[in-house]
C-alpha cells in the first residue's frame, strides 16, 4: 500500500473537525524539522573557542552558515567587564562563512553564545578560560 493510500485511509477515519488540526500539526512539524536541520548545519570552530594564555591567545573563530536557512548570526561574549571587544566580518558578500574576532585584555572566565536565527548552534554556549601564564592553564586543564 502506498503512502498516499495509507494517509487517505487514516484521514478517512478521523473525524472532520480534527483533520485541519492534523494538517496544521504536520506542516508545523515539517517547518520545525527544516529549521532544526538548518541549525545543525551552522558550526563555530577554531582556536578562538578554546582555553588559552592571554599573551599568545588566538582570538579568531569561524561561524560557517553554508547550507542553513536564512537567519541572523549573533555572537555574545560574556567575561570580565570591559575586557574585550567583538568584530564580525564576511570574507565576501556571497560567502556564508563569517570570521569573528575578539581581543581579550585581561585573564578571566569567558563564555561565548553563538546563535543562528535565535537558536544556539551545536556546542554553544562555549566556556573559555584565559590565564596569565602557561602554568595556570596547565593546572586548570589537569583539573578538568
Overall number of domains in the chain? 2
Q: State residue 30's pLDDT score.
A: 56
Query: What mean pLDDT is predicted for residues 80-105?
Result: 76
Q: Provide the Cα torsion 69, 73, 74, 75; round to 10°.
A: 120
CATH of the domain at 54: 2.60.40.10
Q: Are residues 56 and 20 in the same domain?
A: no
Q: Are residues 111 and 137 in the same domain?
A: yes
Q: Are residues 62 and 132 in the same domain?
A: yes
Predicted confidence (pLDDT) at residue 129 exceeds the cutoff of 90: yes
Q: Are residues 30 and 89 in the same domain?
A: no
Domain range for 63: 41-143
Q: Are residues 31 and 59 in the same domain?
A: no
Query: What mean pLDDT is predicted for residues 40-53?
Result: 77
Q: Are residues 33 and 60 in the same domain?
A: no
Q: Are residues 8 and 60 in the same domain?
A: no
Work out the burial of residue 16: count CB atoms within 10 Å of its CB; fewer than 13 is exposed, 13-18 middle, 19 or more buried. exposed
Indicate the range of 10-14, 23-27, 61-65, 99-103 predicted with least confidence. 10-14
Amino acid at each position: 500500500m502506498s503512502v498516499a493510500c495509507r494517509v487517505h485511509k487514516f484521514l478517512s477515519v478521523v473525524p472532520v473537525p480534527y483533520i485541519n488540526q492534523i494538517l496544521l500539526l504536520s506542516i508545523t512539524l515539517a517547518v520545525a524539522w527544516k529549521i532544526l536541520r538548518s541549525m545543525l548545519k551552522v558550526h563555530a570552530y577554531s582556536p578562538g573557542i578554546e582555553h588559552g594564555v592571554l599573551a599568545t591567545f588566538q582570538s579568531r573563530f569561524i561561524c560557517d552558515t553554508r547550507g542553513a536557512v536564512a537567519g541572523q548570526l549573533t555572537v555574545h561574549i560574556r567575561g570580565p567587564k570591559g575586557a574585550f571587544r567583538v568584530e564580525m566580518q564576511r570574507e565576501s558578500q556571497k560567502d556564508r562563512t563569517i570570521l569573528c574576532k575578539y581581543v581579550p585584555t585581561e585573564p578571566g572566565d569567558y563564555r561565548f553564545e553563538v546563535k543562528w536565527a535565535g537558536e544556539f548552534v551545536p556546542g554553544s554556549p562555549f566556556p573559555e578560560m584565559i590565564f596569565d601564564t602557561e602554568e595556570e592553564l596547565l593546572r586548570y586543564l589537569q583539573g578538568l
